[in-house]
């Protein structure tokens, strides 16, 4: 038999225990408190993703970086003169070198990409070795269009350049043939250089090319091949390049040809065709991929030939990226964003059972349930790094639902209520999983699902007398 409170403190304590308003406020306060560790989970996911990207970068750095091939480009220096009127001292002729750049009419590249996976701990990076054959043909340079006199052309200094991002990727000496004759090539970190007028001297010499203020680089790194031509009669239009190249993740090409055709193939089931030009044909299956690009000079943002200031090739690349599925971090982050919603719905379910079944659940028990719901995301993240997101989601969900259901035996007077709570948690986690998988329809499905959940809460709470028994 219950005793009636005899003093104000006992009556206040009794009111706090039985007040629905106080209960709701305490649940709301606990929910706000639990948002703090929830934000820590999101920070942990970001940190682990950054760590994974850092390790992949370190692996790639030791192998060879992302590769972009620019060229081949034919560069022919010429002399430029200017007469300067010095008044009563007469005139002075100043002379310096500039360069004319010519791109091929046709460029055809075929390549076989042989990917590998390098590991460090639980992280892995995609690297490759590519065997490339590049065939190009040039038109005879027409210097009259560039307003260059034939006698000013320095054919003996002509050379060919091929831009390569990371020279460490060259594992075998490349073979360059001009008109069927093999020429010697060498690496360079300052290729495609064009000079500007230097007023302090009348002649610009080779030493002036080392002055960064006088240069505009067509591309940073690559290989150069002197052509040893003596006159226009020695010009050869056919250029063939055989290249074995190592790289990491990305292999791209610049469409330097007036018509550029690139064909790539490799045994990698997860390629991404990237860049400013889409493939003309592609085929991707479990055995690998094949892809082909056809690009015309109408589509690219640079000219076929120019003088002086070097043009920038950046922004016109296209190619293939070897993807390793690492979507567990993005999916874990998206799942964690629903953490507050899952905790809220779970607390609402417990509160409604508490009101309707006259079961008392202590705030500390709410905290323990909420803590289990928070630790769920840590389990999900840690398992997903080893077994993938889908399997990790199943493991973390089963573990959390089992833990909360067993703990609910301590405050539910009917075991069936623990089964109902487990069923609700299965529904909540299943609902979130479906939303994560259906990216295009996640907003629509989430909105409809939440609307239905609110409707169900209204239905089951319609008979609750929130202000106690009415007369």
DSSP string, 120-137: ETTEEEEEEEEEEEEEEE
Averaged pLDDT, 155-177: 88
Q: Which residues lie closer than 8 Å to 396 by C-beta, 6 or more apart?
A: 376, 377, 379, 380, 383
Averaged pLDDT, 359-373: 83
Q: Which of 125-139, 208-222, 410-424 has the lowest mean pLDDT?
A: 208-222
319: left (phi over 0), alpha (psi -120 to 50) or beta: left
* Per-residue model confidence (pLDDT) at position 90: 64
Asked whether the predicted pLDDT for residue 376 surpasses 80, the reply is yes
* Cβ pair 267, 286 in contact under 8 A: no
What is the spatial distance between Cα 376 and Cα 391, in angstroms, rounded to a whole number? 14
Average pLDDT of the chain is 79
* Per-residue model confidence (pLDDT) at position 357: 73
Asked whether the predicted pLDDT for residue 39 surpasses 90, the reply is no
Most confident range (mean pLDDT) of 270-274, 306-310, 414-418 is 270-274
* Per-residue model confidence (pLDDT) at position 117: 83
Judged on CB neighbours under 10 Å (0-12, 13-18, 19+), 307 is middle
391-420 pLDDT, tens digit per residue, is 888 999 899 989 988 888 887 877 788 888
pTM: 0.68
97-114 pLDDT, tens digit per residue, is 888 889 999 999 999 999
Structural tokens at position 306: 């120019």
List the chain domain ranges: 11-52+328-460, 65-322
* Per-residue model confidence (pLDDT) at position 110: 95
Averaged pLDDT, 434-455: 78
Residues constituting the chain:
471
**Better pLDDT: 272 or 444:** 272
Asked whether the predicted pLDDT for residue 310 surpasses 90, the reply is no
187-212 pLDDT, tens digit per residue, is 876 554 433 333 333 333 333 333 33
* Cβ pair 269, 289 in contact under 8 A: yes
What is the spatial distance between Cα 133 and Cα 109, in angstroms, rounded to a whole number? 6
């Amino acid at each position: 038999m219950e005793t009636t409170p005899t003093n104000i403190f006992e009556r206040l304590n009794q009111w706090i225990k039985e007040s629905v308003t106080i209960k709701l406020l305490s649940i709301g306060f606990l929910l706000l408190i639990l948002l703090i560790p929830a934000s820590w989970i999101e920070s942990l996911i970001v940190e682990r993703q950054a760590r994974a990207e850092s390790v992949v970068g370190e692996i790639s750095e030791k192998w060879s970086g992302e590769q972009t091939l620019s060229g081949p480009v034919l560069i022919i220096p010429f002399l430029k003169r200017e007469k300067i009127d010095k008044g009563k001292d007469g005139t002075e002729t100043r002379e310096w070198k500039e360069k004319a750049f010519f791109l091929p009419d046709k460029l055809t590249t075929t390549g076989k990409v042989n990917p590998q996976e390098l590991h460090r701990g639980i992280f892995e990076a995609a690297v490759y070795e590519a065997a490339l054959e590049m065939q190009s043909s040039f038109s005879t340079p027409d210097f009259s269009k560039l307003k260059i006199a034939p006698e000013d052309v320095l054919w003996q200094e002509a050379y060919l350049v091929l831009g390569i991002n990371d020279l460490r990727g060259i594992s075998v000496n490349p073979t360059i043939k001009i008109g069927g004759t093999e020429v010697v090539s060498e690496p360079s970190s300052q290729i495609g250089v064009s000079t500007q007028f230097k007023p302090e001297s009348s002649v610009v010499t080779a030493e002036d090319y080392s002055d960064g203020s006088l240069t505009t680089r067509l591309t940073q790194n690559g290989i150069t091949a002197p052509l040893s031509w003596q006159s226009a009669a020695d010009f050869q239009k056919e250029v063939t390049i055989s290249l074995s190249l190592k790289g990491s993740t990305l292999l791209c090409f610049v469409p330097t040809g007036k018509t550029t055709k690139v064909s790539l193939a490799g045994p990698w089931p997860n390629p991404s065709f990237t860049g400013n030009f889409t493939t003309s044909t592609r085929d991707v299956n479990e055995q690998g991929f094949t892809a082909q690009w056809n690009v015309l000079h109408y589509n690219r943002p640079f000219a076929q030939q120019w003088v002086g200031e070097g043009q920038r090739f950046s922004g016109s690349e296209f190619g293939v990226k070897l993807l390793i599925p690492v979507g567990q971090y993005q999916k874990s982050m998206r799942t964690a964003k629903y953490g507050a919603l899952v905790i809220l719905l779970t607390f609402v379910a417990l509160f409604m059972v508490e009101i309707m079944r006259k079961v008392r659940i202590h705030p500390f028990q709410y905290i323990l349930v909420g803590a289990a719901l928070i630790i769920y995301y840590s389990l999900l993240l840690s398992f997903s790094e080893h077994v993938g997101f889908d399997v990790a989601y199943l493991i973390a969900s089963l573990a959390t639902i089992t833990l909360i259901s067993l703990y609910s035996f301590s405050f539910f007077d009917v075991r069936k209520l623990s089964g109902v709570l487990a069923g609700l948690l299965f529904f909540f986690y299943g609902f979130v999983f479906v939303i994560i998988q259906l990216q295009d329809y996640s907003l629509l499905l989430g909105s409809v699902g939440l609307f239905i959940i609110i409707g169900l809460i209204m239905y089951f709470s319609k008979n609750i007398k929130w202000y106690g028994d009415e007369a």
